[in-house]
Amino acid sequence: MNKNSLLEIKTISASYPGGMQVLNGVSIQAFEGEIVSVIGSNGAGKSSTLKSVMGFLNVTKGEILFKGKSLKGLRPEQILSAGLGYVPQGRVVFEKMTVKENLELGAFIFQDSRKIAESMSNVFSIFPLLEERQEQFAGTMSGGEQQMIAVGRSLMTNPNILMLDEPSLGLSPKYVSEIFEKIIELSNQGFTIILVEQNVTQALEICDRGYLLELGRNKIEGTRDQLISSHEVHNMFLGGGNS
């Protein structure tokens, strides 16, 4: 099967605007339709990698290609418009706004109200709960429901690829399972997914391929089965009670 490469992060080094270099040799590739999981200890550089793709860090070496074109020099909103969706770590919702208003904010790059309505109805078909609760203030929703708002908001620009940074963080087991089910559903709908997760067991189970980052660089990469049977992954996360 000859799949197209959608996103290719090629041996990047990157630093925060203050100058602190945090990545030094990260390479991640996502082919169309894949779920790619990115794991690693706290501080390994997982979030910084996604932020680099979105244009929030200075990429000082290497390059990032999306649909074969370099993202170099593009601003975050241009990167969104190009078809990259991003859900930052930490369930960022606007608490004093309704669910519907939160979703509308996700579509800020569209001027066209018909397009916004279409995206909204697509989000409601994936998350029926958000339609039922569309007038509720986001701040009064549960943690799991807020995560659905955050994911729903990122879908409002109709991205080709969705980068999720720890979507299950801090959620109760019921919501963790629900989020993972939704990720599979999104994948079945054709979204390519990059999933950063500390729930290593589940993240590896649902992925096609994955990467383990350590100290700002690639440590191990492989298919789902290769990673699940890797001694290193096992010792770090699956056997040591650290997942």
Ligand X SMILES: Nc1ncnc2c1ncn2[C@@H]1O[C@H](COP(=O)(O)OP(=O)(O)OP(=O)(O)O)[C@@H](O)[C@H]1O
Residue closer to ligand X (CB basis): 17 or 190: 17
Residue 199 beta carbon to Mg ion: minimum distance, rounded to whole angstroms: 13
The verdict on 47 binding ligand X (CB under 6 A) reads yes
47 in contact with Mg ion (CB under 5 A): yes
Distance, CA of 108 to CA of 77 (rounded, Å): 9
- Cα–Cα dist 175/142, whole Å: 10
Is residue 45 close enough to count as binding ligand X by CB under 6 A? yes
Residue 40 contacts ligand X per CB under 6 A? yes
> Could you say which residues in the range 125-164 bind ligand X, by CB under 6 A?
none
The verdict on 44 binding ligand X (CB under 6 A) reads: yes
DSSP β-ladder status, 35-39 and 209-214: parallel
Query: Which are the contacts of 156, defined by CB distance < 8 A and separation ≥ 6?
Result: 103, 104, 106, 107, 110, 116, 119, 120, 123
- Measured between alpha carbons, how far is 159 from 18 in angstroms, rounded to an integer? 30
Judged by CB under 5 A, the number of residues near Mg ion is 3
| Main-chain dihedrals φ then ψ at residue 77, nearest 5 degrees | -70, -30
39, 162, 24: which is closest to 47 by C-alpha? 39
- Piece of the chain touching ligand X by CB under 6 A; list 2-10, 16-24, 79-87, 200-208: 16-24
Give the footprint of ligand X on residues 74-103 (CB under 6 A): 89
Under a CB-based contact definition with an 8 Å cutoff, are residues 34 and 57 in contact? no
Nearer Cβ to Mg ion (47/192): 47
- Asked if residue 38 binds ligand X (CB under 6 A), the reply is no
| Residue 48 interaction partner, one of ligand X, Mg ion, none, beta carbon < 5-8 Å per kind | ligand X
Out of 9, 26, 36, 48, which residue is the one contacting ligand X (CB under 6 A)?
48
Residues facing residue 12 across a β-bridge: 26
Binding site for Mg ion (CB under 5 A): 46-47, 89
Binding site for ligand X (CB under 6 A): 16, 18, 20, 22, 40, 42-48, 89
